[in-house]
Structure 1
Amino acid sequence: MEIAAIFLPILGSFIAGFFGRFIGDRGAQAVTCLGVCVSALLSIALFFDVALGGHARVIPLMTWIDSGDLKLDWAIKIDTLTSVMLIVVTVVSSMVHIYSVGYMSHDRSKQRFMAYLSLFTFMMLMLVTADNLVQMFFGWEGVGVASYLLIGFWYEKQSASGAAIKAFLVNRVGDFGFVLGIGLVFFLFGTVNFDVLFEKAPEMTELTYNFLGFQVNALTCACLLLFVGAMGKSAQLLLHTWLPDAMEGPTPVSALIHAATMVTAGVFMTARLSPLFEYAPDALAFVTVIGSLTALVAATIGMTQFDIKRVIAYSTMSQLGYMFFAAGVSAYSAAVFHLMTHAFFKALLFLGAGSVIHAMSDEQDMRKMGGIWRFIPVTYVMMWIGSLALAGVGIPGLFGFAGFYSKDLILEAAWGAHSGVGEFAYWMGVIAAFITAFYSWRLIIMTFHGKPRADHHTMEHVHESPLVMTLPLGVLAIGAAFAGFIGEEWFAGEEREHFWGEAIKVLSTHDSIAAAHHVELWVKMLPLVAAFSGIFFGYLFYMIKPDLPGKFVAAVRPLHQLFFRKYYFDEIYDAVFVKNAFRLGSFFWKRGDEQTIDAFGPDGVAAVTGKLAGLAGKLQTGYLYHYAFAMVIGLAAFVTWFWIGL
């Protein structure tokens, strides 16, 4: 069962990719959708067996590497953390596959697209079932390659090709840190196998290591390097600039990358390595600060954007910040809880946005929408459900949408950690919660309400998406509405320790989840007040007083420009890294290659040879007496040399 759940997507990808011309578009869509859907059903069965039944296991497949001290098996690790991720990845991916049948119906390369989607899914499954760091890195890089192919799927567009290259290069920066972290772990522990690492971790707490001339804690250094990889893959502050540009890919790609798979890989890795991070408190503090700043910065940028997909993309970045600062205060189960709930409501929002774009004849600018809710009522309701879950709306003690349970748990755990960085994260998270609710209703109102701002031709063609696109929205909406309510006891309640078993390690002194249940009432209520306040101001600014946004922007124009221009990260990176890299490349090309290597190498030798040939050519005069004279001179020289030699 485990083998089938993991390898069915790659089988579908192989068939669609290499035999697509024989089975046709429908055949490629059928084989890939069937493979991922069966994988999702098997993953649900595995969840009941492993997470609820307590039958965690490791299944060796073959000896992979046997070189000196490095001996690795290719093995499938199935525990509670893996089983949760299997459900998240396969269920969301199966809905994206089905949705793509309708969304990509007019594309010329359906077979290639479906093959890429299934390849991406398989690589993510490889990542979450890894039994060691090197095997995880295989899935990690495989996800990166597949995302490059998907973001740049419409490679005829210069913007799509550029976005794919940008995502690939920025992730290489993070992955370099990840590779260094794996190397340092192997140097310290002599292995990269998870079980052995986790067993030896307590012995490494006092070990120091010389890094760049400084004596640092070895375990802290290793964890920080590994987290740099997570920063790139999960678009945390400083390595986040690739994420909004990735919207150049088809909308199903946005849902798959930004909901359940690629961007959550860093969160999964941090949770998987919790037995290491628990003994590196300085690394955890760094994770907390980066996560909380990411949550706030992304939220402020998101409320100024007009592209519907970019708004949702920045909300993804913000929610990932929540997950990381949860991990930073040792609330790993809260981080994974939010990862799971976020997968459902964020995939719902992206696919809902795709339905809007489909209805609006590929228009993505919210300033050119409005007044369409009557024409696409199903999509409208689905976007409401996704937005309520994203904002974390609920009634304590009764019912809440998915984000209500997981986001509030994170904030309460941050405060319950009773640390400076924890309290900092709490306040950043509360402010981000207010802004999230505000821009969510800004999106709803600008997109669906008010007077139509599109041209007459576009409005004539506004229509609801077909069933093959709305059905996946309904499935995801169920998760967005009920996933938090269903999973609360397992992720945050009394069943938490039994549910997780050995999958997540938390020191008794770091148990912020337990502390979260005993925080003051105002700590619990403030995030909910922030959410409802954000919704209220969204209505006030964009429904009741639509002239207010313009006045407010005029009053705080420098601040608005800072947010709208994304804190000028792209401009700074372009000036510091990109342009200087081009200058350096141009220097090596012109001065190094052309003027040095070529000038004194191939080009120089060729030039000298040409000149010598030209001189020799002048001797070929065509006059017989010249040749006779040359023969006499040569004979005289030969006789002279022979005579001297005697």
Structure 2
Amino acid sequence: MDYSYVFLILLLPALSFLVLGLAGMKMSHKVAGLIGTCSLAVVTVLCYYTAIKYFLIDGRDATGLFPTVTAFDFVWIKFSELLTFTIGFRLTPISVMMLIVISTVSFMVHIYSFGYMHGEKGFQRYYAFLSLFTMSMLGLVVATNIFQMYLFWELVGVSSYLLIGFYYPLHSAVAASKKAFIVTRFADLFFLIGILFYSFYVGTFSYDLTAMPELHQNVAGVAWVMPMALFLMFIGGAGKSAMFPLHIWLPDAMEGPTPVSALIHAATMVVAGVYLVASLFPLFVEFAPEALHWIAYIAAFTAFYAAAVACCQSDIKRVLAFSTISQIGFMLVALGVCLPGETSGVDNTVEYADVNGLGYMAGMYHLFTHAMFKACLFLGAGCIIHAVHSNEKMYMGGLRKYMPITHVTFLISCLAIAGIPFFSGFCSKDEILVACYNFSPVMGVIMSAIATMTAFYMFRLYYVIFWGKSYYETHKAEGAHQPHEAPLTMTVPLIVLSAITMLVGIFGTLHVFEFGEFVSANGIGFGTHINWAIAGTSTVLAILGICLATYMYKGEETPVADMLARRFPKLHQAAYRRFYLDEVWMFVTHKIIFRCISTPIAWFDRHVIDGTFNFMAWGANAAGETIRPWQSGDVRQYAVWFITGTVALTLVLLCI
């Protein structure tokens, strides 16, 4: 299996970043955009070729599984035979799938940005940052060890900071970029601590301990280490994937350009936490199965919270942001409900082969499908914002007549996320629900309710944008700008992504989730049949959610929705204000952390630490000033002191 070419997948976007970053301002917008887009086009071709070669040409090994292939892995820093920092390129079913997701969405965003960012100041800088982000995310998913993942993990954070704050003259964009950076860095601290615990006690940075049975003895004596280390790493993933209560950065990150939202906050960066848990899944199953359950509980609550908030937002990008948080919750719930089988052995250890891998398959499958239709939704939102020059729904309405391509592609993506059959969301989300019901009927009911809420708030958004009262038609006498369809550079990516959504949906529905076999973990088994009872029930619930949204929001007037907002003003306002979680964080940081912790520490630093060193410096200076007259340069004075000292020393010696 020759994969010697894969280094180009990381090298090309890195070179694009360097060229555009160093010489971009000397280029025209068109040249800079072509350099970034063409490099991503080549990377996309290489990623697709790698996927075809890995899945279809080389295929499964003698055991019937897709092998783990390390294309290259060179030593960077070596502490011991096991504790070694290496940089490499690792191919597994989920990493190859992520190569497809990242390259496809990034390539579409590069094309889309030609139209959306046309004429923007800093166009070359924008494409340089896109290349840096893409390289960082690709390096993260192909990492051969946890420490390499952490290196690229931090590069992803830096890239997101730069892209969210692209409009740096705007105070809101600067504040949003700092908020995203600080929150994710706070979470990454726990990730780093978890890595340090893991490497210190286990003795390696490797994902795979099955090939090194001697390392199990290192863990056996300190059973508490692995669960703690793995859960600390998950906290880092929770920060990147915006899980409660570390979700507060994602809605504000919508201040960045809309194509950035499609790339970072729909398909790549926010699923880094999901990919982290999936990569460490064998370790979770073997050493910390209870931690998986806690991940499921946290993710389920996050999914419900985000869906509730999305039902009341007026900014279309923030609706999609909270929808993303909710869908990431679905993916992590799917990973968390992979039930261990019957315990075996006298010590009640759980065998890895006994794990029900349906949730794992469904979670990874949903990661793929969600990336495509959510990127389409964000890019569609960008077309709408480009047409009406606002994110607020009050400036929209009736756009189906003016933006037919955006309307159709947006509708396809809404049907997909709602879980309607023959659309990609049905194929993945319903299998997540089956896994949840297998785990616990209560979990299944909760996630089914959240899926119904998803259908409701997405079609609320759809009807408000495309069927509501047209702002242009009611204000054209006042000089309102007439909406228009976006240029081809913006609509072609919408068509491509919606086509993928349709094709994957039809293939997945008709071929009984065979796609899931490609993204399943090695050695994890799962059923490949549709549970029609759950699939039928969830479809009915999705249709009910759509019907409710149709009843409340289709039309120029929304009397039912307005009546409910008046009847429950406090609940509506709380949901609109994100249940005041931002205010809670501000209180915790300013009133507790800053006032009760940071201020005393700062006082101690200024008065005790600085005072001690200042006193030492003053003492040294005072002593120097005291003896300074001794060095006057007067030879007669030196002679007097010399004779006096000699006489005194002689007398002392005589007395002794």
The TM-score with structure 1 as length reference comes to 0.85
Letter in 2 for 1:408: D
Counterpart among 302, 310, 313 of residue 305 in structure 1: 313
Equivalent in 208, 222, 226 of residue 219 of structure 1: 226
Aligned to 2:483: 462
Mapped contact 1:302–1:314 kept (Cα < 8 A): yes
The separation in 1 between residues aligned to 2:487 and 2:91, in whole angstroms, is 37
Match of 2:546 among 530, 535, 539: 535
Q: 1:50 aligns with which of 43, 51, 54?
A: 54
User: What's the counterpart of residue 575 of structure 1?
Assistant: 587
Give the superposition deviation at 1:450. 2.7
Q: 2: distance between equivalents of 1:33 and 1:496?
A: 30
Task: Tell me how far 1:517 sits from its aligned partner.
Answer: 3.7
Corresponding residue SS for 1:373: helix
Is it true that 1:486 corresponds to 2:486 in the alignment? no
2:365·2:519 contact (CA, 8 Å) conserved in 1? no
Contact between 1:295 and 1:317, CA under 8 Å: does it hold in 2? yes
Instruction: Judge conservation of contact 1:295–1:428 (CA < 8 Å) in 2.
Output: no
State the Cα distance separating 1:484 from its structure 2 match. 3.3
Task: Tell me, yes or no, if structure 1 residue 94 matches structure 2 residue 101.
Answer: no
Q: 1:380 aligns with which of 407, 422, 438?
A: 407
For 1:446 and 1:247, the matched residues in 2 are separated by: 20
Note if contact 2:21-2:128 (Cα within 8 Å) is conserved in structure 1.
Answer: yes
For the 8 Å contact 2:362–2:516, the answer to whether it is kept is no
Aligned partner of 2:290 in structure 1 is 282
Q: Counterpart of 1:60 in 2: which secondary structure? A: strand
Cα distance in 2, alignment partners of residues 488 and 641 from structure 1: 107
| Matched residue, 2:26 | 22
Are 1:406 and 2:428 an aligned pair? yes
Deviation (angstroms), 1:402: 0.9
For 2:218 and 2:282, locate their aligned partners in 1 and report how far apart those are by CA, in whole Å.
12
Given candidates 182, 190, 195, the residue that maps to 1:177 is 190
Where do 5+ consecutive residues of structure 1 fail to align?
210-215, 395-399, 614-633
User: How far apart are 1:133 and its partner, in Å?
Assistant: 0.6
- C-alpha displacement at 1:236, in angstroms? 1.1
Q: Given the superposition, is the C-alpha separation of residues 594 and 65 from structure 1 closer, same or farther in structure 2, using an over 3 Å criterion?
A: closer
Structure 2 vs 1, CA of residues 605 and 49 (structure 1 numbering), >3 Å: closer, same or farther? closer
Paired residue for 1:263? 270
**Amino acid paired to 2:549:** G
Displacement of 1:569: 1.5
What is the alpha-carbon root mean square deviation over aligned residues?
A: 3.1
Matched, 1:552 2:564: yes
1:123 maps onto 2:150 in alignment: no
Q: What TM-score do the two structures reach when normalised by structure 2?
A: 0.84
Q: Is the alpha carbon distance of 1:579 and 1:36 closer, same or farther for their aligned partners in structure 2, counting shifts above 3 Å? A: farther
Which has the higher mean CA deviation after the structures are superposed, 548-557 or 105-114?
Answer: 548-557
Q: Give runs of aligned pairs for residues 471-620 of structure 1, distance below 5 A.
A: 471-487=492-508, 492-493=513-514, 499=518, 503-506=521-524, 511=525, 513-514=526-527, 517=529, 519=531, 521-543=532-554, 546-583=558-595, 584-589=597-602, 591-592=603-604
Q: 1:336 matched to which residue of 2? A: 364
Listed as ranges, the gaps of 5+ residues in structure 2 are: 60-66, 339-358, 626-636, 652-656
Equivalence for 1:151 = 164
Instruction: Find the residue that maps to 1:278 and give its secondary structure.
Output: helix
In the other structure, the counterpart of 1:327 is 335
Equivalent residues of 1:298, 1:314 under 8 A apart: yes
Give the letter for the 1:222 counterpart: A
Letter of the aligned partner of 1:301 in structure 2? V
> How big is the shift at 1:182?
1.7
Q: For residues 42 and 605 of structure 1, do their structure 2 counterparts lie closer, same or farther at Cα, with a shift above 3 Å needed?
A: closer
Q: Which amino acid aligns with 2:106?
A: S
Report the residue type matching 2:426 in the other structure: F
The farther-off stretch of 346-355 and 439-448 is 439-448
Please name the residue that 1:2 is paired with. Answer: 6
* Structure 1, 55-64 or 172-181: larger mean CA deviation: 55-64
1:437 paired with 2:455, answer: yes
**Partners in 2 of 1:79 and 1:599 — Cα distance?**
57
Give the whole-Å Cα distance in 1 for the aligned partners of 2:329 and 2:298: 7
**Distance in 2 of aligned mates of 1:201 and 1:352:** 53
Instruction: Quote the Cα distance in structure 2 between the aligned partners of 1:82 and 1:413.
Output: 23
Q: State yes or no: 1:391 paired with 2:418.
A: yes
The number of equivalent residue pairs is: 599
Local SS of the residue matching 1:37? helix
